[in-house]
Amino acid sequence: MRSHTFHRLLGLIGLFTMGAAMAIEEPSYDTLIAQVPFELRHYAPTLVAQTVVAGDMDAASNQGFRLIADFIFGNNQVAGSEQAAKIAMTAPVTVAPQSAKVAMTAPVTVQPQAGGGMAEAQQWRVQFVMPRQYTLANIPKPKNSAVTLIEVPRQYMVVHRYTGFNTQGRIQEKTQEMLAWAQRQSLKVIGTPQLSRYDPPWTLPMFRRNEIMVEVAAP
């Protein structure tokens, strides 16, 4: 069992290392407004693998990452066969505070619980975006029922991009900055703020790409 886990960890390291040498696929979007560090983006529909876990943000992120990484490494079944398949790693990996009042199919990635912020969240949804070659019809299905596949429709998203570590205080600060910018642009916020992270944990803080995002109504 230890050997099995060790080889999976080596595989994860290999995926991220390859990502440093070649472009990792990201969701498709058009940038409608760009005022660094803020953007208004129009995202194309995406397919995501997700799981819901309990705990603080760091513990939930790690547990959720392992569950979905296990799925993309081969704990799955190809449609119409008994075979498994490896699925390419993409970016970002997202973790969302999850409220019992928010449906699992809601198109959000990092969102505070209803009536609270990230500091109060005790349940989180972790998502990986799946490569564009896959649809619900042709993607291998998870064998672990804790992992589900969800289609996310087109979205307009306000995005605040920054580097460094993600402490709860810093996330709150960036969230307020993003919401203030959206208000200045006369954009109507219809979702809850979410966090996306694009880099492996050993990336130096100055090179880390983080994005606080929120869904808005069509401008």
> Which pLDDT score, from 0 to 100, does residue 95 have?
74
Per-residue pLDDT of the chain (219 residues; tens, 9 = 90+): 444 443 444 344 444 443 443 457 889 999 999 999 999 999 999 999 999 988 888 888 889 989 999 999 999 999 888 899 999 988 888 777 765 433 333 333 444 334 345 556 778 888 899 999 999 999 999 999 999 999 999 999 999 999 999 888 898 899 999 999 999 999 999 987 888 998 887 889 999 999 999 999 999
pTM: 0.76
Interior angle at CA 23, CA 111 and CA 160, nearest 5:
30
| Three-class secondary structure assignment of the chain | CHHHHHHHHHHHHHHHHHHHHCCCCCCCEEEEEEECCEEEEEECCEEEEEEEEECCHHHHHHHHHHHHHHHHHCCEECCCCCCCCCCCCCCCEEEEECCCCCCCCCCCCCCCCCCCCHHHCCEEEEEEECCCCCCCCCCCEECCCCCEEEEECCEEEEEEEECCCCCHHHHHHHHHHHHHHHHHCCCCECCCCEEEECCCCCCCHHHCCEEEEEEECCC
> Which pLDDT score, from 0 to 100, does residue 102 have?
32
Please, what are the domains in the chain? 2-216 (3.20.80.10)
